[in-house]
């Protein structure tokens, strides 16, 4: 039997981002204000996303965004210290995926405040919409109105989300996973795409400058 290597790799990548959840109705819980972990969490095989690098859709790269800089300027501003071999430039401008889990800075972060684009400082998400999905990356069920633009991947398997101001890659959005949040969506976002500002400091204090 002959195996088409290209189709095999695409299948593996798709599987790495698919979410598998039991379908028994009694297994699901209502979304709570505490954002406590759900008893049944999304199950993923995320390592392939990091290994195969860029996941940006062609339409995202072709769009025109209000904040414009040369690639050299983006690299100078975002190509600082690395987290597991990746810089914010790699994620925001080349759509790489950071490793999940403890190395994802904002995965288990629940302080009140706002999450901004690390590339252009546009507000993207608030802590009110953040919840624990168990996927290993920060999860939000909604964005600041107009802050995030969606693009369907070329093969139609996923929907990429980017910053509406600068086009920086944030991650992907998934629907119908039944986490119990108000709109039944999960914005799976790379921590390296974000900066957090604490509400207690009036939104002026940034937790991360990297």
Asked whether 19 and 41 are in contact (CB, 8 A), the reply is no
User: Range with the lowest mean pLDDT among 20-34, 86-100, 112-126, 194-208?
Assistant: 20-34
Per-residue confidence (pLDDT) for residue 156, from 0 to 100: 86
pTM over 0.75: no
CA–CA distance, 91 with 89 (Å, rounded to integer): 5
CA–CA distance, 10 with 93 (Å, rounded to integer): 22
> Catalytic: 166?
no
Query: Percent of the chain, pLDDT > 70?
Result: 66
Per-residue confidence (pLDDT) for residue 52, from 0 to 100: 38
Rounded to an integer, the average pLDDT of 27-45 is 40
Asked whether 126 and 207 are in contact (CB, 8 A), the reply is no
Domains of the chain: 56-201 (2.170.150.20)
**List 117, 163, 166, 188, catalytic entry:** 188
**Sign of the C-alpha dihedral computed for residues 207, 70, 82 and 45 taken in this order:** positive
pLDDT tens digits, 113-157: 999 999 999 999 999 999 999 999 999 999 999 999 999 988 888
Rounded to an integer, the average pLDDT of 80-87 is 87
């Amino acid at each position: 039997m002959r195996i088409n290597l290209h189709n095999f790799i695409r299948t593996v990548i798709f599987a790495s981002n698919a979410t598998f959840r039991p379908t028994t109705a009694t297994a699901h819980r209502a979304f709570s204000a505490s954002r406590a972990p759900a008893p049944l969490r999304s199950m993923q095989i995320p390592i392939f996303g990091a290994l195969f690098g860029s996941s940006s859709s062609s339409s995202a790269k072709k769009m025109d965004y209000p904040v414009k800089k040369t690639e050299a300027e983006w690299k100078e501003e975002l190509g600082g210290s690395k987290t597991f071999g990746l810089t914010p430039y790699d994620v925001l401008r080349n759509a790489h995926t950071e490793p999940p889990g403890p190395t994802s800075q904002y995965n288990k972060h629940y302080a009140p405040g706002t999450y901004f684009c690390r590339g252009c400082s546009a507000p993207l998400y608030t802590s009110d919409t953040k919840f624990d999905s168990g996927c290993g990356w920060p999860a939000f069920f909604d964005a600041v109105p107009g802050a995030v633009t969606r693009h369907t991947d070329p093969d139609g398997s996923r929907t990429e989300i980017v910053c509406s101001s600068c086009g920086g890659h944030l991650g992907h959005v998934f629907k119908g996973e039944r986490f119990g949040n108000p709109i039944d969506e999960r914005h799976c976002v790379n921590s390296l795409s974000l900066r957090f500002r604490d509400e207690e400091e009036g939104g002026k204090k940034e937790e991360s400058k990297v």
